[in-house]
Structure 1
């Protein structure tokens, strides 16, 4: 699809609608997390699961049917960070997840977002396989923390893997951004 064809795609397409729904579900998830009782915790799990599924589905639909828009490129990562960030902060506020884990993951996410803006004029760094693994591990770890009565060793094992991959892919992203800037400067003769 060319740039001109992409401009003709309406921002009001199914992929973007799913992204907006995911963003709109975040406050409902947060409310469910703080209401007492197992029923509300399971409701939070259901909201998180539905929102997480829209993350996969919106990207798949956008690529498959040529629904990629500038709005989607900006809104999708914001919705992703809002959902996982809200979940991690809720879990830490509830005393179920150490704050240092939340800070490490959110710090990496914020840092990579800022890094993307730093290199955007030089090019786009595509999502890596490691980034996709990171997302899956983060979602799985959060789900295990939301599920009532999940054994701590299971939670910690998956969260530890998510944290390790999150930090590792962050380092990889920094390395690729630095290389991209160097190549762009050489091409421009700077």
Structure 2
């Protein structure tokens, strides 16, 4: 008898995989201007992110695959939303460029550090977590503002500038962290403490 390949500890990875599958219909709904339906899928994706994270931590159902899939799912959803909202001229082009450049810089820096210095242990900075949260809230508020109810103009505008500030700050923080660590390694010193 062939054993069933699915185990209960795989539930977080299954939820993350389903979240990845939500990205294309979510982006399509945004492109069609169906903001209410898009907001529903965005909310489901956000809830699934919280749920798979809770299950993985609470029950120890973590895996290398989950460590790869979860940030990919988050980036596909967020970067996809920001690109589409920029294309629709709902978000300004300068913010879209800033977010893409920051993510590209972090990926290039991580790969370079991994290949030239040492293996990177994923450990997101607090400012990076705040930036991700602000990006999520900004996307949610902008879609809600377009599709459900008009919000005061200061809310999306304020979130826009807070997101821009934390995007720059988090990008520079990673450059500082990896640069300092690389310098310590080149000097034969022990790695710096965070």
TM over 0.5: yes
> Which of 23, 28, 33 in structure 2 is aligned with 1:26?
23
TM-score by length of 2: 0.82
2:110–2:120 CA contact under 8 A, matched in 1? no
Which 5+ residue runs of structure 1 have no aligned equivalent? 1-9
- Compute the displacement of 1:71 (Å): 1.3
2:9–2:61 CA contact under 8 A, matched in 1? no
| 1:172 is the counterpart of 2:173 | yes
- Compute the displacement of 1:146 (Å): 0.5
Note the 1:1-190 alignment, pairs <5 A.
13-36=10-33, 40-120=34-114, 121-147=118-144, 148=146, 149-185=150-186, 186=188
1:5 alignment partner in structure 2: none
2:4 alignment partner in structure 1: none
Aligned-partner Cα distance in 2 for 1:44–1:152? 21
Aligned-partner Cα distance in 1 for 2:182–2:67? 21
TM-score by length of 1: 0.83
- Compute the displacement of 1:170 (Å): 1.2
Which 5+ residue runs of structure 2 have no aligned equivalent? 1-6
1:33–1:44 CA contact under 8 A, matched in 2? yes
Query: Could you give the per-residue CA deviations for residues 147-184 of structure 1, whole angstroms, max 9, x where no partner exists?
Result: 12333321110111011112101111111111222333
- Pairwise CA RMSD of aligned residues? 2.3
Partner of 1:13: helix, strand, or coil?
helix
Label 1:169 to 1:160 Cα distance change in 2 as closer, same or farther (>3 A). same
Runs of 4+ with >6 A deviation: none
Count of aligned residue pairs for this structure pair: 177
Query: Could you give the per-residue CA deviations for residues 16-68 of structure 1, whole angstroms, max 9, x where no partner exists?
Result: 112111111111101111224xxx31110111111122223322322232222
Query: Could you give the per-residue CA deviations for residues 107-145 of structure 1, whole angstroms, max 9, x where no partner exists?
Result: 101211222222233432511222221111111111111
1:137–1:158 CA contact under 8 A, matched in 2? yes
Label 1:181 to 1:68 Cα distance change in 2 as closer, same or farther (>3 A). farther
- Compute the displacement of 1:12 (Å): 6.9
1:23–1:79 CA contact under 8 A, matched in 2? yes
Aligned-partner Cα distance in 2 for 1:61–1:154? 33
